[in-house]
Amino acid sequence: MTNEAIPNLTAFDEAALDHAFAALERQARAAAAALSGPEAVEAFRLEWLGRKQGRLNDVSSRWLKAAPPEAKKSLGQRFNALKAVVEGLLDAALGAGPSDAALAAEAIDITLPGTRRLTGAEHPITRTLNEIVAVFTALGYSIGVGPEVETDFYNFECMNFPPGHPARDTQDTLVVAGQARRAQRDRLLLRTHTSPVQMRTMEQQPPPVRIVIPGKVHRNDAQDATHSPIFHQVEGLCVDTNITFSDLKGTLDHAMKALFGSSVKTRFFPSFFPFTEPSADVQISCIFCGGKGCRKCKHSGWIELLGCGMVDPAVFAFAAEKQPAYDPKKISGFAFGMGVERIAMMKYGISEIGQFYAGDMRFLGQFV
């Protein structure tokens, strides 16, 4: 700092005081403007406000003492004003922090990539399954689950696939070893669909029932781009008095709109499943072309998505063995089921079903 020492004051009239204080204020402002860095600010504080060597202390001890009594008041006022200015400058300097020049020295390359922690991804099957289940829980469905190893009774017989029935041929089954000597209905197998949980649920509770059943199922199928011996289904069951085919249509139409967007249309075709009657296949208008026809929908404008139907009275008869309230003359119900892989493949543009089960980090990482 190059401020000169405080001069001795020789005149104490107003004009002389004005002149002397104005000079000091100029010096203070000039010094403050040049401050850079916290050390300089501290030096400025000591220079001007230091208790022993501070310049204001100097002014006070020399000018005030030397002033004639009639000028003391006027000088005191000017002194206080100057002190306020200096304190203000100091506050401003402290608040402003380091100068831009000082900060420039700390520059870094902000274009280098950020340090990222990995976020794990939800499996696309889990994700799709949860989306489907959420649509139905919002409609009042509870979630039901059941074992992956089932008896022949629950997987087939009570679902109205009698022993030896040709409909069993449509579901090639993986069986547990060593079953040949057991009664047919007790034989253990890998469930081929989530439908056994329908019966397990009805055996546990009288109507009304509304459940949605997500789960893993297995079939003795060769693996190709769209088929896998392991896959997932979401099944639904609604039983009450006065449940109708039009309720089934309305429920699934709502669900498909909730899953694929409100502009999606549904249409129903007669089909055959042993455990429902009437049975239907449901198509939705192609979500890729909006129904105009494209490669994805084989130019039909429609995509087949799920199977459904009214619960067959024969199924209720099995349930009524444990819960007599399942009297098909008094209650009715519908059931539906859909393949999760197929929906996930469609939603996320996946072309190989095998990718779901390979645990490839590069594939899974896309679903974060």
What residues between 164 and 183 interact with other proteins by CB under 8 A?
A: 164, 166-167, 169-170, 174-179, 182
The CA-atom distances, in angstroms, between 68 and each of 31, 59, 74, 81 are: 31, 15, 11, 20
For the record, the structure tokens of 325 come out as 């309230």
Q: Do the Cβ atoms of 210 and 238 come closer than 8 Å?
A: yes
Report, in Å, the least distance between residue 251 CB and other proteins: 6
Per rule CB under 8 A, is residue 140 in the interface with other proteins?
yes
Report, in Å, the least distance between residue 111 CB and other proteins: 11
Question: On the CB side of 265, how many CA atoms lie within 13 Å of its CA?
Answer: 9
Report, in Å, the least distance between residue 275 CB and other proteins: 12
Per rule CB under 8 A, is residue 147 in the interface with other proteins?
yes
For the record, the structure tokens of 334 come out as 């519908």
Report, in Å, the least distance between residue 102 CB and other proteins: 23
Per rule CB under 8 A, is residue 19 in the interface with other proteins?
no
Of residues 104 and 112, the one with the C-beta less far from other proteins = 112
Per rule CB under 8 A, is residue 360 in the interface with other proteins?
yes
Query: How far is it, in rounded angstroms, from Cα 314 to Cα 51?
Result: 102
Per rule CB under 8 A, is residue 110 in the interface with other proteins?
no
Report, in Å, the least distance between residue 309 CB and other proteins: 9
Of residues 35 and 151, the one with the C-beta less far from other proteins = 151
Of the candidates 119, 262, 324, 349, which one interacts with other proteins according to CB under 8 A? 119
Per rule CB under 8 A, is residue 143 in the interface with other proteins?
yes
Per rule CB under 8 A, is residue 324 in the interface with other proteins?
no
Query: How far is it, in rounded angstroms, from Cα 343 to Cα 132?
Result: 10
- HEC readout, 290-338: CCCCCCCCCCCCEEEEEEEEEECHHHHHHHHCCCCCCCCCCCEEEEEEE
Cross-strand partners of 276: 273, 311
Per rule CB under 8 A, is residue 190 in the interface with other proteins?
yes
Per rule CB under 8 A, is residue 149 in the interface with other proteins?
yes
Q: Do the Cβ atoms of 152 and 189 come closer than 8 Å?
A: yes
Of residues 95 and 120, the one with the C-beta less far from other proteins = 120
Residue 97 DSSP class: -
- Residues 278-299 as b/e (b if ≥16 CB within 10 A, e otherwise) read bbbbbbbbbbeeebeeeeebee
Phi, psi torsion values for 259, nearest 5 degrees: -85, -40
Per rule CB under 8 A, is residue 115 in the interface with other proteins?
yes
Per rule CB under 8 A, is residue 254 in the interface with other proteins?
yes
Per rule CB under 8 A, is residue 230 in the interface with other proteins?
yes
Considering only 19-27, 42-50, 261-269, 319-327, which stretch makes contact with other proteins by CB under 8 A?
A: 261-269
Of the candidates 10, 111, 246, 262, which one interacts with other proteins according to CB under 8 A? 246
Q: Do the Cβ atoms of 335 and 313 come closer than 8 Å?
A: no
For the segment 28-87, give every residue that binds other proteins (CB under 8 A): none
Report, in Å, the least distance between residue 104 CB and other proteins: 20
- State which amino acid sits at residue 97: G
Considering only 43-51, 58-66, 143-151, 196-204, which stretch makes contact with other proteins by CB under 8 A?
A: 143-151
Per rule CB under 8 A, is residue 310 in the interface with other proteins?
yes
Of residues 7 and 250, the one with the C-beta less far from other proteins = 250
Sign of CA dihedral 254, 200, 143, 175: negative
Of the candidates 36, 60, 126, 323, which one interacts with other proteins according to CB under 8 A? 126
